[in-house]
Amino acid sequence: MRLTPAVVAAEREWVRERAPVVVALINATRVELGERFDTDVASVDAEQYRREVDEVFADGDRAVNVAALVGLLRDLDVEGDYPGFVVDELLGRELAGTIAGTQPLRLLGEATFHYADVAIEDEAGPAAVEDDEHPPAGGGDGDPAGLDDLDAALAAGFQTRLPGWEWRESESPFAVTD
């Protein structure tokens, strides 16, 4: 893999264009997490997602890492299921955390990755949302194994960054300001 500014820009465009699948997964994940934690979480639309993609890729140091992880997951396929499962989980978790940002968001993005990754396998879940141009990742024979983890990582990382969680809407009561 060779990373150049042009490659990073191309990966940004690919991530932006993935909005139909990723936004559906973000919203489905938010509904599930909201129910699990007894809270309402605002949904996200494609424009919010694309603006946040632009924000992530505007930070060149983060952008090159996100582009590398996206490129690896898009092409990752390992003969036999188990070895691929381990490496795509590792790369997916890292991508979700890198997108999410600094702590504690990084940890939340990583944890949410595993939740979204399981949800994407559910036939009735968000992975079923597709169109001809944006099929669900890992949706067919011959698709690289890392594609489903890529969608889960994008959804987890971006859903963590985007507003909509009540606890993020106010100042922390633990801030020491004097």
**Spatial distance between the Cα atoms of 49 and 140, rounded to a whole number of angstroms:** 26
Is pLDDT larger for residue 164 or for residue 13? 13
- Burial, 103: exposed, middle or buried (Cβ in 10 Å; 0-12, 13-18, 19+)? exposed
Q: Are 40 and 166 in contact (CB under 8 A)?
A: yes
pTM, entire model = 0.86
**Residue 150 confidence (pLDDT) above 80:** yes
Task: Report the residue count for the chain.
Answer: 178
Output the CA torsion sign for 101, 159, 95, 12: negative
**Spatial distance between the Cα atoms of 115 and 94, rounded to a whole number of angstroms:** 14
Question: pLDDT tier at 130 (50, 70, 90 boundaries)?
Answer: very low
pLDDT digit string, tens, across residues 6-62 = 999 999 999 999 999 999 999 999 999 999 999 999 999 999 999 999 999 999 999
